[in-house]
Homo-oligomer: A and B are copies of this chain.
Amino acid sequence: MQKASPTLEDVARAARVSTATISRTINTPDKVAIETRERIEQVIEKLGYTPNFSGRALASNRSNTVGAVIPTMANAMFASGLQVFQEVLSNASYNLLVASSGYNTDTELQQIKSLVAQGADGLLLIGSSRPEATTRFLQVRNVPYVVAWCYQPDDDRYFAGFDNTKAATSITAEVLKKGHRRIAMIAGFAEQNDRSRNRIAGVQLCIKNTPDAELLDVIETDYTLEAGGDAFEKIMQQSAKPTAIICGNDVLAAGAIVRARQLKINIPGEVSVTGFDDISLATAVTPSLTTVRVPQLEMGRTAARVMLDLLKDGTSKSHELETEIIHRESLAELNNAANRNLE
């Protein structure tokens, strides 16, 4: 029923040359005499031939496919970075295999295995820390991979990311600069998530270095509006309230802000809130979020370039991208009104 697609063989017969020559005109055109090539190209056109990737992959041991395992597509963060990553790869004729780990390292390993089995020539991974089993698998299989969303110097892996600890430190410094001393944090679950871990560490570090500052609370929770709201509510129910809450990402911060409004808690009048990522949620929410801008698109683009280098030359280099504090409305100077909360 289904008309089978034409094969190299069919083209070769129609063009009266060997399959080798067809293959060459497709892959290395300059090794073919110009007249031969043109004739073949016409035949290809006429037959509507497109190479079969399985055959090609099997013979050449390359799949022209790159795999990405990200925590979730549901957060605009990763989705938009992935979007750019895909575009760049697509322009270089690579297809993108996508899988998600749900922030779970076992699932991540499973997905990595699946993509490698599928023949991915390279992998995009998020975050730098993974279990021994995963590291070993990657090493044994010798799959080139680039690590995004984080950066570590003196590491032989290829990064396209930023320093989460440093970024968290910088937003904390900003909060302290506004006069806040009693601080709480709402973060993502840290155990299987090094970005969250490092952001927490950055906040802790910065506060520890400021004699009169205090980190009242660090609540780890899911990256959802609801969970952010719940954590916020819990923090504000305590007798020792913070004057500023640093959030591990914008979703959490937006959740806190939405909840604050329901609870009639004024932000930033009573408590300041900061975000992390700078997704569109940050500007949509009222008050808009003072946050850390993470260069999502640039990261996707850079990761793709590193990937392409790796695939072509077997080597590339790491890139540390810069984050930036975006000042909006949710972080205020600590004034008397807020100070009253301290008594």
Q: Which residues of A approach B to under 8 Å, CB–CB?
A: 2-3, 5, 48, 50-55, 57-58, 63-65, 72-74, 76, 79-80, 82-83, 86-87, 90, 93, 95-100, 111, 113-119, 140-142, 225, 251, 254, 257-258, 261, 280-281, 283-286
CA distance A95 to B118 in the complex (A): 8
**Residues of chain B contacted by A79 (CB below 8 angstroms):** 73-74, 76, 79
**For residue A285, which residues in chain B have a CB less than 8 angstroms away from its CB?**
284-286
Contacts of A95 in B (CB 8 A): 97, 99, 114-115, 118
Contact B99 A90 (CB under 8 A): yes
- Selected contact of A55 from candidates B58, B74, B114, CB within 8 Å: B58
B65–A73 CB distance below 8 A = no
17 A–B contacts, CB within 8 A, in A order: A52-B117, A52-B119, A53-B118, A54-B57, A65-B118, A73-B86, A74-B76, A87-B100, A90-B99, A96-B99, A97-B97, A225-B283, A254-B284, A261-B286, A281-B281, A284-B285, A285-B286
Complex CA gap A2/B55 in Å reads 22
Nearest residue (CB) in B for A225 is: B280
Are A54 and B51 touching (Cβ within 8 A)?
Answer: no
Separation of A79 and B83 alpha carbons in the complex (Å): 10
Q: B63 near A284 (CB under 8 angstroms)?
A: no
Asked if residues B119 and A100 are in contact (CB atoms below 8 Å), the reply is no
Q: So how many copies of this chain end up in the complex? A: 2
What separation, in Å, do the CA atoms of A98 and B90 have in the docked complex? 10
Cα–Cα distance between A245 and B93 once the two chains are bound (Å): 43
Q: Are B76 and A113 in contact (CB under 8 A)?
A: no
Give the CA-CA distance A140 to B111 in the complex, in Å: 33
18 more A-B contacts (CB under 8 A) besides A54-B57, A251-B280?
A48-B140, A51-B117, A54-B58, A54-B63, A57-B57, A73-B82, A73-B83, A86-B99, A86-B100, A95-B99, A95-B115, A96-B97, A97-B98, A225-B280, A254-B280, A280-B281, A284-B285, A285-B286
Which listed residue, B55, B98, B254, B284, touches A258 by the CB 8 Å rule? Answer: B284
Q: CA of A97 to CA of B111 in the docked complex: distance in angstroms?
A: 13
Chain B nearest CB, measured from A333 CB (Å): 22
A281 to B74, CA, bound (A): 13
A86→B114 contact, CB < 8 A: no
Do the beta carbons of B119 and A284 come within 8 Å of each other?
Answer: no
What residue in chain B is nearest A56 (Cβ atoms)? Answer: B54
A286 contact set on B, CB distance < 8 A:
261, 285-286
A65-B118, A280-B281 known; A86-B58 Cβ under 8 A:
no
